[in-house]
Structure 1
Amino acid sequence: MTLRVPRAGGDPVLTLPRRVSLSEGRAFAEAQAEWLRRATSRQIVAQPVDAGVLLPVEGRPMRVTPFPIRGARIEGNSLLIPGNRPAAPVIQAFLRHLALQRLHSACDGFAADLGREYRAITLRDTRSRWGSCTSDGRLMFSWRLAMAPPGVLTYVAAHEVAHLAHMDHSPRFWAQVEALMPGHKPYRDWLRRHGNELLAWQFRD
């Protein structure tokens, strides 16, 4: 039996094996009442993306500002968006493009340092992981990394590229991450502490 509280909000999820009855599952959940209370208190309230909000872009709060332009761009502390289009899809596309640019640059450099090649980079809006690496060298990342400080995105890139050499989380793997990005631990810790804040942003109209 497992009990999970989504980091970005939502109801707790209880998963039961087939042989376990619903009453047993309910008793298990009730026994975890204190843990549930603490876990739900740490959830971040969902924040819709719209004009006027302060949205993090590469770790900096940007005021989303409608403007008579054709495409989104940053000017000073503002994220300018076309005033005649819905904000959320425009901003999501902007962040995806930014993430892909930054990740390609970081992964290319780390792969060259490692002496390995990756096959492709894809972006998704994942809930449980910030990146992954398949056995055939395909790298996947969350485009929400574009909202995190640049060092955090770079760390996740180093982490996944290191998997090209070590498909595990052994001491050798972590030594490889450190070799690719010395001093990576503060960025790893930032993601653990603040990752749920990135997941809380809702890109829906």
Structure 2
Amino acid sequence: MSRLLRRLIAPAAPVIQRDTVRLRLGESDEIDVLRVRDPRARRLKLSVDERGARLTLPLRASLASGEQFLHANRQWLQQQLARFSDQALPVPTLRLRQPGQLPLRGDYLPVQWQVGRFARVELGAEVACIQLPARAGEPALRRALREFYEAQMRADVGRWLPAYLPGLPRAPSRLRLKVMSSQWGSLAPDGSMALDLALILGRPSAFEYVLVHELCHLLQANHSPAFWVEVEARFPHWRQERDYFHAEGRRLKATLRMLLSITPPADR
């Protein structure tokens, strides 16, 4: 079968639709809720994070049923939004060619701006050197930051991975680095591993724990007691790193989105 014919008869990729709906929480309080119609969704789902509220609808769910679901859960939604507001953590900013700091591996490095032919970020002696062409703008800076963080993540994985491969049935077939909405990592049935790019902003031990967690899914494709036995054997202090994500995870993800100007991703 020709490539053209396969493309013609292949099913169209599912389209995720987004819009916003206005919801009144009290006599004077109104919020915008991100409404997402996702072909992969199996049920109505309401979630809250530092970006606000999100309503996910399956394909067959009507808009009316979604609004009814919102109104039925207004009290819960109000409580969650208040909790996130009370626990909000400051997110550092980085402005083009302005003094600032670059987050990396649980620390903040002072930034030195340099003029050069290409946009790139390099590590100096306790400093991050950001090189940009004289006329380069924020898009070039964002690309350079993403390339820098991806390179740093691959270096860390390359340093840690060999120690954990013995005792595993195989190595991951592929490594993808991406911006993830709520997860920190995932392992597909074909053995490809995805890791959240925000991991490179946090402390290295937390990043290493996520790597071990996903590698253990090569042995147990679930979160059964047997799976946690495998994790414990390879990373005994995993509970401390889990607590670290509970305390710092939202700030790490928000910081990455700020640095890369990421809009809410599709892979919820």
For residue 101 of structure 2, the aligned residue among 54, 62, 84 is 54
CA distance 1:33–1:77, change in 2 (3 Å): farther
In structure 2, what is the Cα distance between the partners aligned to 1:101 and 1:139?
A: 16
- 1:1-205 map, 5 Å: 1-5=44-48, 7-15=49-57, 18=60, 21-41=62-82, 42=84, 49-51=94-96, 52-68=99-115, 71-84=120-133, 85=136, 86-114=140-168, 116-200=170-254, 201-202=257-258, 203-204=260-261
Q: TM-score, normalized by length of structure 1?
A: 0.84
Contact 1:14–1:29 (Cα < 8 Å) also in 2: no
In structure 2, what is the Cα distance between the partners aligned to 1:142 and 1:112?
A: 24
Corresponding letter in the other structure for 1:134: A
Largest Rg, 1 or 2: 2
Corresponding letter in the other structure for 2:223: H
Corresponding letter in the other structure for 1:15: L
In structure 2, what is the Cα distance between the partners aligned to 1:29 and 1:47?
A: 33
Tell me how many residue pairs correspond in the alignment. 203
Q: TM-score, normalized by length of structure 2?
A: 0.66
Give how far 1:46 is off: 7.5
Over aligned residues, Cα RMSD in angstroms? 2.7
In structure 1, what is the Cα distance between the partners aligned to 2:185 and 2:62?
A: 35
**Unmatched 5+ residue regions in structure 1?**
none
SS in 1 for 2:165: helix
In structure 1, what is the Cα distance between the partners aligned to 2:57 and 2:213?
A: 30
Give how far 1:101 is off: 1.1
In structure 2, what is the Cα distance between the partners aligned to 1:74 and 1:179?
A: 34
In structure 1, what is the Cα distance between the partners aligned to 2:58 and 2:169?
A: 44
Corresponding letter in the other structure for 1:145: L
Corresponding letter in the other structure for 1:65: Q
Stretches (4+) displaced over 4 A? 43-49
Contact 1:50–1:88 (Cα < 8 Å) also in 2: no
Give how far 1:193 is off: 2.6
**Unmatched 5+ residue regions in structure 2?**
1-43, 263-268
Q: Determine what percentage of the aligned residue pairs are the same residue.
A: 24
Contact 1:95–1:146 (Cα < 8 Å) also in 2: yes
